[in-house]
Amino acid sequence: MEKRSVFNSWWLPILFALPQILLILLFFYWPAIAVMKWAFTLEPPFGGAAEFVGLTNFKEVFADPFYWKSVAVSLIFALCGTFFTILVGLVLAIAVDRQLPGSGLFRFLYILPYAIAGPAAGMAFRFILSPERGLMASVNAAFPDFWNPAKYGTHALVLVIVIFAWKWAGYTFIFLLAGLQSVPRSLAEAAAMDGAGPIRRAVDIQVPLLAPTLFFLLVIMMTEGFVGSDTFGIVHSTTGGGPNHGTEVMVFRIVDEAFKGLNYSGASAQSIVLIGLIMIFTFIQFRFIEKRVHYK
C-alpha cells in the first residue's frame, strides 16, 4: 500500500529516521555482525587475532549433550507453556464472551498478571510453590517428597512453566476475547434456533472461527517461549537453570555460557541457531498474516 500524496524532500525523511536507524545500527546490526564473526572464529588462548575456523564452533556445540538437553528443555517449556496459556485463555474468553452479569469484572482481573515481570513473578512463586511453606507444604506433609523443585529437575521445569503460563494466560485471553467478539452474533443465534446449546455452539462455531487467532497466538507464544525476555527472567530468578541443567532453556544457556563460561564463540554459534529459529517463526507469522488480510 502506497500513499498517493506525499512530500518531496530527500533530506527530511533521512533526518526523521536517523535517530532510530542509528540506534538500530549500533545496538542491533553491529552486534549481530559480531555474533556472526565470533561464531566462525576462535580466539587463540594466548592472545592474538581471531582465527577463522569454519564450522568447528557449531560442531563443538552440537557434540555437547548439555546443548541438546537445553534444546529439549526449551522445546518442552515452549510447547507446554503455549498449550496451557492458550487453553486457559480460550476457556476464560468463551466464558466471559457470554456476557453474563459480572463478567466485566472478571475480564478486568484476568489481564492483571500480564503486568508482572517474569522475574518478580518468579520470586513470588518461589514462595507460593515452595516445598516447605506456602501452598505445597501441606501436600508434602501428607505425601513426603511429592514436590521439590530444588531437588528434581522435572518439578523445577513444571514450576517455571506454571509461572510462564500464569503470566501469559491473560495475554492470550485478550486476543481470543477480541476474536470472539468479532464473530457475528447472528451465527450463534441461528445455531440456537437449530437447537445447539452453549457448549455445542462454543465447540462447533466459535472455536473454528477463532482458528486464525489461535494460529497467530500459537506462533507468538512459541516465539515467546523460546526467546522471550520473560523466559530468561523466570528461569534466572527461580531455578538458575538447575537442578542439574533441568531448566536450562536455550537463551539461559547462551547468556550463561557467554558471561560465566566466557565462551563467546560457543555462545555465538548457539545464538545463530536461535536466530534461524526465530526467522522461521517470523516467516510463518507473516505468511499467515498476509493470508488473513486477503480473506478479509
Partner 1 sequence: MIQRTPIADAFTYVLMVLGFILLIGPFIVILAGASQTLQQINSVPFHFLPQDRFLENASAAWSRANLGTAMTNSLIMACLVTFGKVALSACTAFAIVFFRTPLKHLFFWMVFITLMLPLEVRVVPTYAVAADLFEPFRLLISALTGTEISVEWNLLNSYAGLTLPLIATATGTFLYRQFFMTLPDELAEAARMDGSGPVRFFVDMLMPLSRTNMLALTTIMFVYGWNQYLWPLLMITDPTYKTTMMSLGALLPSENSLPDWNVTLAGSLIIMAPPLIVVAVLQRWFVRGLVATEK
Kindly identify the residues of this chain, within the stretch 162-181, that bind partner 1 according to CB under 8 A.
166, 169-171, 174-175, 178
The pair phi, psi for residue 228, each rounded to 5°, is -65, 155
Q: How far is CA 193 from CA 181, 187, 197, 207, 247, in A?
A: 20, 10, 10, 19, 51
Q: Choose the binding region for partner 1 from 34-42, 47-55, 68-76, 150-158 (rule: CB under 8 A).
A: 34-42
Q: Choose the binding region for partner 1 from 44-52, 66-74, 204-212, 273-281 (rule: CB under 8 A).
A: 273-281
Q: Binding to partner 1 by residue 221, rule CB under 8 A? A: no
Minimum CB distance to partner 1 smaller for 31 or for 208: 31
Q: How far is the CB of 51 from partner 1 (least distance, A)?
A: 18
Q: Binding to partner 1 by residue 66, rule CB under 8 A? A: no
Minimum CB distance to partner 1 smaller for 90 or for 157: 90
Minimum CB distance to partner 1 smaller for 35 or for 214: 35
Q: How far is the CB of 108 from partner 1 (least distance, A)?
A: 6
Q: Binding residue for partner 1 (CB under 8 A) from 233, 241, 246, 266?
A: 233
The 10-29 contact track toward partner 1, x by CB under 8 A, reads x-xxx-xx-xxx-xxxxxxx
Question: Is residue 52 within a helix (H) or strand (E), and if so which, with residue range?
Answer: strand 51-52
Q: Binding to partner 1 by residue 188, rule CB under 8 A? A: yes
**CB distance 77 to 160 below 8 Å:** yes
* Binders in 97-156 for partner 1, by CB under 8 A: 98-100, 102-103, 106, 108-121, 123-128, 132-135, 137-138, 141
Radius of gyration of the chain measured on its C-alpha atoms = 24
**CB distance 170 to 113 below 8 Å:** yes
The CA-based angle 263-50-52, given to 5 degrees, is: 100
Minimum CB distance to partner 1 smaller for 66 or for 106: 106
Long-range contacts of 87-92 (CB under 8 A, 24+ apart): 88/165, 88/169, 88/172, 88/173, 89/169, 89/170, 89/171, 89/172, 89/173, 89/175, 89/176, 89/217, 90/172, 90/176, 90/207, 90/210, 90/214, 92/169, 92/173
Q: How far is the CB of 241 from partner 1 (least distance, A)?
A: 14
